[in-house]
Amino acid sequence: MRKFASAATAMLLGVTIFAPSVLAADKQVTAQSAAAQIEPAVDGNRIVWADKRSGNYDIYMRDMSTGQERQITSDSSKQVDPAISGNRIVWTDYRNGNADIYMFDLTTGEESQLTTNDAGQWNPAIDGDTIVWEDERGGNLDIYSLNLTTNRESQITTNQADQYAPAIAGDNIVWQDDRSGNSDIYRYNLSTGLESRLSTADNGDQSSPSISGNMVVWQDNRSDQDQIVAYDLSTGVERQLPSSATPDAKKWSPAVAGDNVVWVDTRDGNWNIYLCNLATGLESRITTDSARHYEPAISGSRIVWEDNRSGSLAIYTMDLNDNS
């Protein structure tokens, strides 16, 4: 409560005040290197990213509970865009001359190629036993899924426009969909087989969806300024974040875990990571220096992002529960 001591007063005034001091200490995940470390993803204490220290991009992982770093791929072609759920890491892999989805199982130490089609497969996301990705085998982008328990691959969308940037939580797959002439957010439920459009605004692009439980967030420029929208699948209620008025600031790349939403925000004149708690409406600034911070991801209380404060791209993390 100490952190948000002025919150009640702030709410009375109709604005949201964020804590002036840092919530918790941030830490550099990656060893200092002139090579780029990009595209972080996180599940619990395990952080994965794409790392160019070998002269080409590979996937690396660091477990913050043990401090141990592990190189996941060593192939000389490009491995990028990792995602992680439990003991499984997935990524986009160019070793076959086109993009495919690969997986590494931390339990067995085994790597497997999940797609073999000559067209491109990109941007995997994983939750439990289900992997989703965007796939160009039909001549336009569609969403595909693979159930690791049944080893069954499914085509989720068939529309001739592009469907891409998928995210998954439980039975719900969400993605960015261009079928209406601009981008909207759609959802497919693996249990019911039903597809629905979530974003209600006809104008502007709704993009970069993220999902946790029943909460979907996306970037939304319906009012010609990028903002963050949260949509609750259980109630159908959509709301803009945060409640504080910073209409001239652009907001990008949201990610959600439980009640916490993080995004990139330009209100301070540079790119910072901000946090909004959906239950309290309270907002916090996560990064404090004037460097660029972007591509945030979040799992539980742990936030990760890409950061250039040291002059080259590195991965940083903050555990909101770390009071040390």
Identity of the residue, 174 or 282, whose beta carbon is nearer to Ca ion in the bound complex: 174
What is the DSSP secondary structure assignment for residue 74, as one 8-state letter?
-
Identity of the residue, 219 or 287, whose beta carbon is nearer to Ca ion in the bound complex: 219
Identity of the residue, 100 or 265, whose beta carbon is nearer to Ca ion in the bound complex: 100
Distance CA 239, CA 44 (A): 27
Residues 197 and 186 sit within 8 Å (Cβ to Cβ)? yes
Phi, psi at 296, each rounded to 5°: -75, 150
What is the DSSP secondary structure assignment for residue 7, as one 8-state letter?
H
Distance CA 230, CA 235 (A): 12
To Ca ion, the closest distance from the beta carbon of 2 in angstroms equals: 42
Please tell me whether residue 226 binds Ca ion under the rule CB under 5 A.
no
To Ca ion, the closest distance from the beta carbon of 195 in angstroms equals: 12
Please tell me whether residue 142 binds Ca ion under the rule CB under 5 A.
yes
- How many chain residues bind Ca ion (CB under 5 A)? 14
Please tell me whether residue 140 binds Ca ion under the rule CB under 5 A.
yes
Please tell me whether residue 266 binds Ca ion under the rule CB under 5 A.
no
Q: Which two tokens stand for residue 40?
A: 């972080």
Question: Which window, 70-78, 209-217, 250-258, 267-275, contacts Ca ion (CB under 5 A)?
Answer: 70-78
Beta bridge partners of 91: 102
Please tell me whether residue 98 binds Ca ion under the rule CB under 5 A.
yes
Identity of the residue, 21 or 74, whose beta carbon is nearer to Ca ion in the bound complex: 74
To Ca ion, the closest distance from the beta carbon of 179 in angstroms equals: 8
Say whether 12 sits in a helix, a strand or coil: helix
To Ca ion, the closest distance from the beta carbon of 256 in angstroms equals: 20
**Contacts of 196 by beta carbon, 8 Å cutoff, 6+ apart:** 186, 187
Question: Which window, 17-25, 132-140, 290-298, 300-308, contacts Ca ion (CB under 5 A)?
Answer: 132-140
Convert residues 42-61 into a mask of x (bound to Ca ion by CB under 5 A) and - (unbound): --------------x-x---
| DSSP structure string for 134-156 | EE-TTSS-EEEEEETTTTEEEE-
Q: Which of 6, 3, 51, 44 is nearest to 23 (CA)?
A: 3
Residues 44 and 299 sit within 8 Å (Cβ to Cβ)? yes
Identity of the residue, 30 or 121, whose beta carbon is nearer to Ca ion in the bound complex: 121
With CB under 5 A as the contact rule, the residue among 51, 135, 178, 184 that binds Ca ion is 184
Sheet holding 206-212, edge to edge: 206-212, 215-220, 227-232, 237-241
To Ca ion, the closest distance from the beta carbon of 313 in angstroms equals: 16
Identity of the residue, 56 or 154, whose beta carbon is nearer to Ca ion in the bound complex: 56
Catalog residues that contact Ca ion under the rule CB under 5 A. Answer: 56, 58, 75, 79, 98, 100, 117, 121, 140, 142, 159, 163, 182, 184
